[in-house]
Amino acid sequence: MRPLRPFNFNTSAELFPAAIRKKKRAGFAYRRFGTAAEAVRFAMEELPSDSLNGAYLQVEEARFDQNGIRTLYESEAFPLPRRAVEDKAPDADAA
């Protein structure tokens, strides 16, 4: 097994979101990004989950599916700040 080569987050990337067929409104369309880091952040933070499911990211000759995009986003090498995870549990003090 050959070692994985380091991923370059500064390479341009193309994001192909999955079509949302059940909804009348248009889903996100193909989008090109100046850097793969911007594409990964957009996919993880902006795309609705039903668009991310089935989406893929094309960086040079490599393709990343939803799981691959998530792995890149969670990588220690990811160069951009991540959106803070919001706690969805109700606030105990609000009662």
Dist. CA 49–CA 34, nearest whole Å: 23
Convert the pLDDT of each residue in 12-63 to its tens digit: 999 997 765 555 445 678 899 999 999 999 999 998 887 888 899 999 999 9
The DSSP call for residue 61 is: T
Q: pTM for the complete prediction? A: 0.76
Dist. CA 45–CA 39, nearest whole Å: 10
Alpha carbon distance, N-terminus to C-terminus of the chain = 56
Please tell me the predicted confidence (pLDDT) of residue 41. 96
